[in-house]
A and B are shown apart, each in its own frame.
Chain A
Amino acid sequence: MRVDVKKTYKLYIGGAFPRSESGRVYELKDAKGEFLANPCQASRKDFRDAVVSARGAVTGWNKATAYNRGQILYRVAEIMEGRTFQFAEEIVAMEGVNFKEAKAQVEAAIDCWVWYAGWCDKIASVSGSTNSVSGPYYNFTVPENLGVVTVFADQKSSLLGLVAGLAAVLAGGNTAIVIASEKYPLSAITLSEVLATSDVPAGVVNILTGYSAELAPWVGAHMDVDGIDVSGLSKKAEEEVRLAGAENLKRIHRFNQFQSLGRIQAFMENKTVWHPIGV
């Protein structure tokens, strides 16, 4: 009989897979209550490191053309497709659903990447405008990335909610720190392995596992975070995040659709440029 080689689930920060600096893990049980894994319980310092990494990646990610970013997101979908079985197995273990249902979720998540990938070079056309001002000026509005966005991934859907949160943020040209679902973190970690082997530059996505409620106040208060997706937080934690986030007026949003233009727009700024028209 062969003994399985079990995976050590780690964090994903700046393109590397460190353990939590705190050395903490938490015991993850499967849907039947059996031991499943010991994912890292990320600390506020891990989060701080992730912000540094995400901030450092903003310029490069934005220098890429929107077409290029779209291809990179599509590449993630391609690589995920090859790992469908692994993702599905993990979903089965965590959520207790049957394989068919799990596979459907993986496929929906892959399609979600494809959907957002296609948005990268269209968002400016749809979300921007040229404006008829009353005077000899050319005036246009373009959406731009917000910067560093922290995503509290949906707690109820292991993979699809996670991908929707992340892909929307990336499509808008932002870099991300994802706090994975507490109960279903394995999909996030496997996704980070996909990201590491795709073309997503290091630091553009950072994934932490641990307790959302523990991290929430630190995320809310971190002055170098520009936006927060609170979809995966309880109302109480959300309020804490909003209260702390007011200090630098973070853009904080909760979403109820996996695929929506509003999700991308929520983490983009609109810049309006004026220039005189003359000879």
Chain B
Amino acid sequence: MTNFEYAPALESTAILDIASQYGLFINGKFVDPKTAQYFPTINPANEQLISQVAFAGETDVDDAVKAARNAYEKSWSKLSAAERGKYLFRIARILQERAREFAVLETLDNGKPIRESRDVDVPLAAAHFFYHAGWSDKLKYSGLGNDPKPHGVVGQIIPWNFPLLMLAWKVAPALATGNTVVLKPAETTPMTALLFAEVCQQADLPAGVINIVTGDGSTGSFLVNHPDVDKIAFTGSTGVGKAIARAVSGTKKSVTLELGGKAANIVFEDAAIDETVEGIVNGIFFNQGHVCCAGSRLLIQENIQDEVLEKLKRRMASIRVGDPLDKNTDLGAINSAEQLSRITELSASGDLEGAHRWSPQCDLPAAGFWYPPTIFTGVTQAHRIAREEIFGPVLSVLTFRTPQEAIEKANNTPYGLSAGIWSEKGSRILWASQQLRAGVIWANTFNKFDPASPFGGYKESGWGREGGRHGLSAYLKGEK
């Protein structure tokens, strides 16, 4: 008997042409930062330098906002809606043409498996532009009045977990509705946004319609507090989301927020077990668990707990952890040392508080940031790992006895972004999906995204929706 080993099937990085240093993308051109400062961005899978990226300070952000304001007044708002849409179509097409390049660069900068960047992030990003392109000249049908107006200059701050996809979620609707944009990518994952700037150049997008300022939290803060920004759209942690809400409390700025979550993934006794196990795995190990809507709290009906856990563990043993550029890799690198230490710290609290940790045998690479797929059983509602967002490949397993108990436990959190339901009984699924206080309910599936499907949270998971008709209202001034 031979072991059926998959040999490494590495995606080549030869397709990339990475400069040693990147400026800020302001008014259609790459410019040197007035701070004269650059910071490194590294590959989290091996800690090697990818490039040096400009650090935008207050003056740089101001330049970017001025460029956006100028473009809004002089070009973008003068363009007919249909023409505006054509630019978005162009961008969608160029993203498709250069999909491979984007996928490889995303995996390099973020650490996610190439299978995911290739099959999920990049195609979905292109789909978001394609979808919103078509909205541009149909806004009067969006249910927001006969002639809904854009806000003007939108400041957008995006996270590191889906760098290009979050850019698309933000930029596509903003442009389709006639706003101009200043975008701040995450500190650890600026690369695909900078490549996207090239796409905008290839698409001949008027200068200043999109401006990209790289930097850290301080850069984001300059953007949030800039007096000439009309609207802020942020995806990231609930802590920063609240800080933004406070920062704009005395202003007229409109705000949308996509924040954290601690989703319950509820498995009823009549679930289709094998597909449920796939859903559990996809729910928590997709993108290393760096997903705000991850199914991080597994709630299993007590009478099928043993069967589900046995199958889950067996399935977890087949998860392939390793080089993100390997097409066979299922679980890639943790995005940063900082995130790894947070995962490690929260997981340690699980041990301390008496939960039982289990991981399959897996060899982690020596360099880079890695965490094995992990589950904790014997978790109660009071454990930190049942309440706080770990944002890593760590699943907390709880049990319930009745459907009512499942819902009570699921809703017992300040978050309300997503939830999962696994059952073969239609009426139970509809009942549970009504009872769950969350913005996205996945029944017999998990972690599915689509530009036509509104996404966003209840409670402290945020304000507003992204995607679909509902997502447009974030970028238009409706009547109320």
Contacts and interface: CB of A to CB of B under 8 A. Distances in A.
Q: Check A-B contact in the complex, CB < 8 A.
A: yes
Interface of A: 126-127, 129, 131-135, 137, 139, 141, 144, 226, 239, 242-243, 245-249, 251, 253, 255-257, 260-263, 265-266, 269-276
B455 interface: yes
B480 A139 contact: no
A248 B460 contact: yes
Interface in B222-251: 238, 241-243, 245-246, 249-250
Nearest to A62: B434
29 contacts: A131-B450, A131-B453, A131-B468, A132-B452, A133-B450, A134-B452, A139-B452, A226-B459, A239-B250, A242-B250, A243-B246, A246-B245, A248-B459, A249-B459, A249-B460, A256-B480, A262-B480, A266-B480, A270-B456, A270-B465, A270-B470, A271-B440, A272-B439, A272-B441, A272-B453, A272-B454, A272-B468, A273-B443, A276-B444
A237 B53 CA distance: 43
Contacts of B450: 131, 133-135, 139
A266 B441 CA distance: 21
B463 A273 contact: no
Contacts of B479: 257, 260-262
Interface in B442-480: 442-445, 448, 450, 452-456, 458-460, 462-463, 465, 468-470, 478-480
B257 interface: yes
Interface string B248-281: 0110000001010000000000000000000000
Given A249-B462, A249-B463, A269-B458, A134 B480 contact: no
B99 to A, nearest CB: 16
B448 A274 contact: yes
B438 A249 contact: no
Contacts of A127: 143
B266 to A, nearest CB: 14
Contact of B452 (A131, A243, A248, A255): A131
B429 interface: yes
B453 A247 contact: no
B70 interface: no
B8 interface: no
A16 to B, nearest CB: 29
A271 B245 contact: no
B127 interface: yes
B433 interface: yes
Contact of B480 (A133, A137, A263): A263
Contacts of B250: 239, 242-243
Contact of B440 (A266, A274, A275): A274
Given A144-B434, A248-B460, A272-B439, 20 more contacts: A126-B143, A131-B450, A132-B452, A137-B448, A141-B453, A242-B249, A246-B243, A249-B242, A249-B257, A251-B463, A253-B480, A260-B479, A261-B479, A262-B478, A266-B480, A269-B439, A270-B454, A272-B455, A273-B433, A273-B440
